[in-house]
Amino acid sequence: MGIRSKATAAWNELKQKLQDKQNRQRVMEEIQKRLKQGREAIDRVEKELRDPENQARLENKLRDARLKVSRAKAEFNRKKTQAVSYARENPEKALVVAAAAGALAGAVWAALRRKK
């Protein structure tokens, strides 16, 4: 049963209960209780977001992530430079390696297409 059908069923059940005058007050109290719980949850999340310790922890994680990205970029550029210089020094070997990589990629692609 999908979420939409569950919500529709719950809504229809709630409408039936509301028609009963005795249950109307209980339903309103339940709604108010749930709204209060939702407000309290939002207040807790906002408090956690405003907490200086959490902000400092998030800033540290963000700084670490930026450092890792910059290191990865530097490593990529270094490897790219090495690959280009190797290809210039050994064009025949580079051509063979590129052809082998292309053949391997084509074989993997063909194998994956067959499984579908």
* Both tokens assigned to 85: 């210089």
What global pTM score does this model have?
A: 0.45
Residue with the bigger pLDDT between 16 and 96: it is 96
The maximal CA–CA distance of the chain, rounded, in angstroms, is 89
Domain span holding position 3:
1-50
Q: Is 27 in contact with 21 (CB distance < 8 Å)?
A: no
- The alpha carbon of 20 is separated from its chain's Cα centroid by a whole number of angstroms, namely 44
- Tell me if 24 is assigned to some domain: yes
- Tell me if 33 is assigned to some domain: yes
- Tell me if 109 is assigned to some domain: no
Q: How many domains does the chain have?
A: 1
What is the tens place of the pLDDT at every residue in 56-83? 998 999 999 999 999 999 999 999 999 8
- Tell me if 58 is assigned to some domain: no
- Tell me if 95 is assigned to some domain: no
- Tell me if 44 is assigned to some domain: yes
- Tell me if 68 is assigned to some domain: no
- Angle of helix 21-50 relative to helix 52-89, nearest 10 degrees? 60
- Tell me if 42 is assigned to some domain: yes
